[in-house]
Amino acid sequence: MKQTFGFALTLCLLLGAGVAVGGDSPFDPNNSDYAQWKPVLVQDEISPSAATIDMVRAWVDAAFGRQDVSPKASDGTVAIVVERQDYSRLRINETCIGEAFNIQGGEFAKGLGTHGQSRLRLIFPEPVVSFAAKLGINKNLAAGSVRCAVEVGGKIVYQSDVVKKGEPAIDVNVKFEPAVSEFTLLVDVGDDGPSCDQANWLEPTATTADGKVYDIVDTCLISRFHTDVPFSFKYNGKSSREFLDSWTFSAKKIDAERDVYSWTDPETKLTVSATVRRFEKFAAADWVLNFKNEGSENSGLIEDVLVLDAAFDYGFEHKDLALHTLNGDFCNEKSWFPIVEAIAPGQTREFAPAGGRPSNGTFPFWNLTSKQYLDSEQSEGVFFAIGWSGQWRASFENVDSAVSQTNVTAGMEKIATILYPNEEIRSPRILIMPWRSDRISAQVLFRRLLMFEYAPKVDGAPVKMEQIAQCFDRYYRKRPGWEMCSAQIESAKKLKEIGGSAYWFDAAWFPLGFPNGVGNWRSAPEFFPNGVEELGDALEQLGLRFFLWFEPERDAADSDIANERPEYVFGGEKGGLYKLNDPEAREFLTNHLLGLIKKFKLGVYRNDFNLDPLPYWRDADEPNRQGMTEIRYVEGHYEMWNRFLSENPGLWIDNCASGGRRIDLETI
């Protein structure tokens, strides 16, 4: 049975093409095509249906594109749009409060559990000529009275008498002349008010002219998207919810997957644009906002930018929600430990990292479910993720016990800034992926979404893990001569003999080593008299990938950069955070590191980051430019890494930050 948006997603990881020689497994190194295997997606029984894909597309078009669109019914699926339900939520095969059907004079296993007042729009993949159902209220209720109707094209074509609790269900039979592809089921309250008006459409079916019968319960797909614009911000003290509809709107298609939706203030010419990507093979979407001042004067104050500010109703019960996530990194036994946060009705759970590194003590990835399920149970939920290598915040609100609404917000923790004429900034990135399956399968599917759509690729395939040997500076001093280039070359030869494929040299190649030498990005002459490039040349001849450590964003006191370029460092000659937010400073460092990557013939550039940047960012902000230093720094970080990759095809970036404290949707 498909229901509640059909969040069953899948893909199958297959590798390669052609005839394999050796083992049957594509992961078998004896397979002659092993090096050419690449992951591909296939359709199978749990891939998202065409109707599910249409539903996500319709939500994007409605929420961002301001189009009055409905999900399409396809693949024999009936789409149900819940246009109104004044209490609880629409449920399948149970009442709107989760009880079995208990109608006077009959037993029913199938039905749609709703409440007065409600409007359910049913959309079929082909015209139907009739609709049949029974309407009843559970006999165990204290009260309850409803009447129902069927509407086509805004006109009532059927209306029932009042049905009360404890009475037998009534028959509803409607003929459509001519045939229709959609109609609306209405439930109104009785004369005694809405109390206990739990109306149930029992055993609903629709029939085509040639006699094909649609069992609506078994084929339904319910849209629960709230179609308000799923972001918000304040401008000159007012919420965008109050004025965005009055701004000039435009939409532009970039390619088959990406669209840009823009809103421009007619007075100040501030433009906010949402670049939206649809991952239709996964029924998922992500987006990022850009703000640009296209006027001739400074913009008004832009505050509280919530890139995600949306209400979701994915069938969550009005009980405790379960929010699955990880601890993030603490550099102790608690790091990366899976946790489940219970969110009771009326409660909100908030998250933010410590110090400006995005996975420092928390993790910007979540899976929200209606309760704590067993791993093997069929359930549903939504994955959320943030792409922002800085200080983000997120909140999850279980609204109350009367509705099944969950409010989710996410964005930068602090932003209150004007923009100068022609100035532009970007926001964090947001990803959502709804699902319906068992939770572990959903977790695997989400991981595959990340692999296919976000993980780095070389020649179209995800990077393969290497067999690596590491030399780390805290250990070399225990072995006389180990720090010398000649000893490293001999060690590399041994690695090659035992089947290794990459040689990792850590933080001992520059003067003063780690940590006192950060900022001295040159070869230590006493250890590498001919430069680190001598080791790089030797590794290339051995066929080993060279893996080298850097920490470019931190400069020690009296380091080369602190002494020679103090204006490029927050902290100057005393050392501190390098100014990736400064275009001139970033260009200098990027070019210098690019030169070393090429000279040393690196295959892996390892970027460590052992400093909390947030105090430096906020101390540098002007009063009406709060958040700007962080924004420019994060943008600069991405620009630097993008140049490393674009100018060194095949290069890997290994992301370290006191362990794993800089992991988010962008850095992955």
Rounded Cα distance between 329 and 242, Å, is 40
Give the angle 208-154-195 at the CA atoms, nearest 5°.
100
Tokens of 96: 């709107």
Give the Cβ contact number of residue 413 at 10 Å. Answer: 16
* pLDDT of 478 higher than 70: no
Residue 467's CB is within 10 A of a number of other CB atoms, namely 11
Cα–Cα dist 231/306, whole Å: 6
| pLDDT-derived band at 219, boundaries 50, 70, 90 | confident
- What pLDDT score does 483 carry? 82
pLDDT of amino acid 8: 23
At 602, list the tokens.
Answer: 């690196």
pLDDT (mean) for 618-641 = 98
Distance CA 437, CA 442 (A): 6
Is residue 23 pLDDT above 60, yes or no? no
Q: Is the peptide bond before 470 cis (omega within 30 degrees of 0)?
A: no
Rounded Cα gap, residues 134 and 204, in angstroms: 7
Q: Collapsing DSSP states into helix, strand and coil, what is residue 503? A: strand
pLDDT of residue 47: 66
| Structure confidence by residue, pLDDT tens digits, 113-141 | 999 889 999 999 899 999 999 999 998 88
Q: How far apart are CA 312 and CA 381, in angstroms?
A: 10
Amino acid 216 reads: I
Q: Which amino acid is at 79?
A: A
Amino acid letter for position 561:
I
Cα 363 from Cα 517, distance rounded (Å): 31
Among the ranges given (95-99, 579-583, 638-642), the one the predictor scored with the smallest mean pLDDT: 95-99
Rounded Cα distance, 110 and 100, in Å: 10
- pLDDT computed for residue 6 by the predictor: 26
599 pLDDT band, cuts 50/70/90, is: very high
Instruction: Read off the pLDDT of each residue in 597-622 and give the average, rounded to a whole number.
Output: 97
pLDDT tens track for 43-90: 655 566 666 677 778 888 889 998 766 666 666 788 888 888 888 778
276/296 Cα distance (integer angstroms): 28
- Would you say 569 and 557 are in contact if contact means Cβ atoms under 8 Å apart? no
**CA 345 vs CA 278, 308, 318, 404, 441: distances in Å:** 32, 21, 7, 9, 27
Cβ atoms 9, 47 nearer than 8 A: yes
Tens digit of each residue's pLDDT (9 = 90 or more) over 376-431 = 887 778 999 999 999 999 999 998 766 668 899 999 999 999 999 999 999 999 99
CB of 634 closer than 8 Å to CB of 389: yes
Q: What is the DSSP letter of 618?
A: H
Domains, the chain, with CATH or none = 68-223 (2.60.120.1060), 232-454 (2.70.98.60), 461-655 (3.20.20.70)
Task: Tell me the per-residue pLDDT of 139-191, one tens digit each, with 9 for 90 and over.
Answer: 888 889 999 999 999 999 999 999 998 899 999 999 999 999 999 999 998 87
3-state helix, strand, coil in the chain (%, to 5): 20, 35, 45
Distance between CA atoms of 273 and 262, rounded to whole angstroms? 4
Q: What percent of the chain has pLDDT over 90?
A: 65
Query: Which pLDDT value is given to residue 452?
Result: 86
What is the rounded distance in angstroms from the CA atom of residue 519 to the CA atom of residue 559?
5
Given a cut of 60, is residue 620 above it in pLDDT? yes
Distance of CA 651 to the CA centre of its chain: 26
pLDDT, average across residues 485-505:
92
Q: What is the mean pLDDT of the chain?
A: 88
Identify the sign of the CA torsion 661, 664, 667, 668: positive
Among the listed residues 153, 147, 135, 141, the one whose alpha carbon sits nearest the alpha carbon of residue 187: 147
Digit-coded pLDDT (tens) for 564-594: 999 999 999 999 999 999 999 999 999 999 9
Where residue 627 falls among pLDDT bands split at 50, 70, 90? very high
CA 586 vs CA 283, 477, 552, 592, 636: distances in Å = 38, 34, 10, 10, 7
Which residues face 175 on adjacent strands? Answer: 130
pLDDT score, position 204: 97
**Residue range 285-334, pLDDT digits in tens:** 999 999 999 999 999 999 999 999 998 875 555 578 999 999 999 989 99
Using alpha carbons only, what angle is made at residue 308 by residues 304 and 312, rounded to the nearest 5 degrees? 130
Which tokens hold the place of 10? Answer: 């899948």
Other Cβ atoms less than 10 A from the Cβ of 509: the count is 29
Q: What percent of the chain has pLDDT over 70?
A: 88
The reported pTM is: 0.84
